[in-house]
């Protein structure tokens, strides 16, 4: 009877250990998935930042060209 109780405790402990190992593996997998998602999001963010910088440069260039045209128009009108 004493051995039977000890056997039951060992079985319960073994089941708990198996559950913990499964949970650990699941969390490890989830962590890896999240790392991969984060890497993807960072790369996407960098691409968007680059696109924004290019658009800002283009906008600045267009503003400069607009100012040049306006200056030429004012110069012609002032003659």
The pLDDT tens digits of the residues spanning 47-69 come to 999 999 999 999 999 988 888 99
- Whole-angstrom distance, CA of residue 71 vs CA of residue 76: 9
pLDDT of residue 27: 98
In whole angstroms, what separates CA 52 from the centre of its chain?
Answer: 18
- Tokens found for residue 26: 């699941």
pTM (2 decimals)? Answer: 0.63
What letter does residue 1 receive in the DSSP assignment? Answer: -
pLDDT at 73 over 80: yes
pLDDT of residue 59: 93
- Tell me what the pLDDT averaged over the chain comes to: 93
What letter does residue 78 receive in the DSSP assignment? Answer: T
Q: How confident is the model at residue 3 (pLDDT cuts 50, 70, 90)?
A: confident
Q: What are phi and psi of 24, to 5 degrees?
A: -60, -45
């Amino acid at each position: 009877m004493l051995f039977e109780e000890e056997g039951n405790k060992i079985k319960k402990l073994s089941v708990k250990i198996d559950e913990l190992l499964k949970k650990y593996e699941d969390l490890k997998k989830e962590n890896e998935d999240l790392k991969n998602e984060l890497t993807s999001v960072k790369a996407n963010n960098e691409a968007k930042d680059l696109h924004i910088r290019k658009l800002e440069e283009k906008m600045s260039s267009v503003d400069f060209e607009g100012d040049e045209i306006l200056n030429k128009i004012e110069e012609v009108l002032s003659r």
